[in-house]
Amino acid sequence: MDPILYVHDLTGGYSPKRPVLHRISFHVKAGEMVGLIGLNGAGKSTTIKHILGLMKPQSGEVKVGGVELEEDTEKYRSSFAYVPETPVLFDELTVEEHLRLTGMAYNVTDNADGERGEALLEQFQMTPKRRAFASHLSKGMKQKVMIMNALLAEPPLYIIDEPFLGLDPLGIRSLLDRLVEVKRKGAAILMSSHILSTVEAYCDRFIVMHHGKIVAQGTLDEVRRAAGMEQRGGTLEEAFYRLVAGGNA
């Protein structure tokens, strides 16, 4: 089966003279949740920007749903929903109007009566805030709105950048529950986060980035092996520490 997200030999960054990403390759298949982890400045956000098509690769290719951005822009873009690290909302729209806008943009036809939106408002405890303007929401609530919008679109691929920042415990729980659910239904998820215990508990595979390169990827066992921790257990956090700090020490 073709992967939903396919990144091959990608080199990129803001300036051709100083690439941030160095020949990275990975993929995410349907029904799979992949954790993208790395220190600040490791290149996670740059990788995500390349996938979104906000940055152009210097070499290599990025395919979503089997097409590159230039090949079929509409198919490429309708294949994923994105939750940015910092919530980016329209100040002039209310919570429910954001859901309506997303429904229109992603052509969510069965949201005509707003039922899917209702369920999301309920699940993320945002029903009392449905008519609040984005500018009047707390940071965590804004993040919830971002997540709800992504979930409303029900795309084949979710790209989620640091989703837990500012979320309350119930919000984190709702998000993880929903991610498990969409994954079971066959969606692919690429999630970047620093909360390694959560990443370890929920993701099927991991991509460890360091200085713009992938230093390890695969299942927990494979990452451990790459970190030089042979088959005797240990957490993702230990493996990660060895990979990024041990490698430099």
Partner 1 sequence: MGGELRLEAIWSRRARAFREEIVPYIRYMAQSGFTAFLSLIFISSSIGYVTLIRDLPSGFPIAAVGVAALAPVLCWSPLRTWLAPADTVFMMPREADMAGYLRRSVRHTAVFGALLAALVLLLYLPIYNQGPALASGWLLAILAAGLKAANTWGAWRERRMAWPGMRRGMRLLRWGLTALVLAAWLTREGWQAAVFTALIGLLFALVHRFPARHRFPWERLIQEEARTRNRYYAFFGLFIDVPTLPAAVAKRSYLAWLLRAVPNANRYTYVYLYTASFIRAEIGGIVIRLLLLACLVVYWLADAASLSGWGAAAAYGLFLAVLAVQAGGLRHVHRHSIWKHVYPLPDKRRIEQYLKVDRVVVTVCAIVAWLFAAIPLAMASIYAPSISAAAGAGVYIALRPSRMRRRLLLDEEEGE
84 lines the binding site for partner 1 (CB under 8 A) = yes
Closest approach, Cβ 152 to partner 1, in A, equals: 13
Q: Three-state DSSP class for 8?
A: strand
Hey, which residues between 105 and 134 contact partner 1 (CB under 8 A)? 105-107, 111-112, 133
What would you measure as the largest C-alpha separation in the chain, in angstroms?
A: 58
Amino acid at 159: I
The correct pick among 101, 165, 172, 226 for binding partner 1 (CB under 8 A) is: 101
- β-partners of residue 205 are 34
Using the structure block, give the residue that is written with the tokens 């239904």: 185
Closest approach, Cβ 102 to partner 1, in A, equals: 9
65 lines the binding site for partner 1 (CB under 8 A) = no
Hey, which residues between 197 and 236 contact partner 1 (CB under 8 A)? none
90 lines the binding site for partner 1 (CB under 8 A) = yes
- Name the residue nearer to partner 1 (CB basis): 72 or 237: 72
Q: Within its chain, how far is the Cα of 85 from the centroid?
A: 9
Q: Which stretch binds partner 1 (CB under 8 A): 83-91, 184-192, 208-216, 232-240?
A: 83-91
Closest approach, Cβ 77 to partner 1, in A, equals: 4
73 lines the binding site for partner 1 (CB under 8 A) = yes
Site string for partner 1, 32-61 (x = CB under 8 A): --------------------xxx-------
Using the structure block, give the residue that is written with the tokens 């051709």: 16
DSSP of 17-76, one letter per residue? TB-SEEEEEEEE-TT-EEEEEE-TTSSHHHHHHHHHTSS--SEEEEEETTB-TTT-HHHH
Q: How far is CA 99 from CA 154, 171, 216, 233, 237, in A?
A: 12, 17, 38, 44, 36
The correct pick among 1, 15, 70, 74 for binding partner 1 (CB under 8 A) is: 74
Q: Answer for the pair 19, 13: CB distance below 8 angstroms, yes or no.
A: yes
In the complex, the residues that contact partner 1 under the rule CB under 8 A are 52-54, 73-79, 82, 84, 88, 90-93, 97, 100-101, 103-107, 111-112, 133, 135
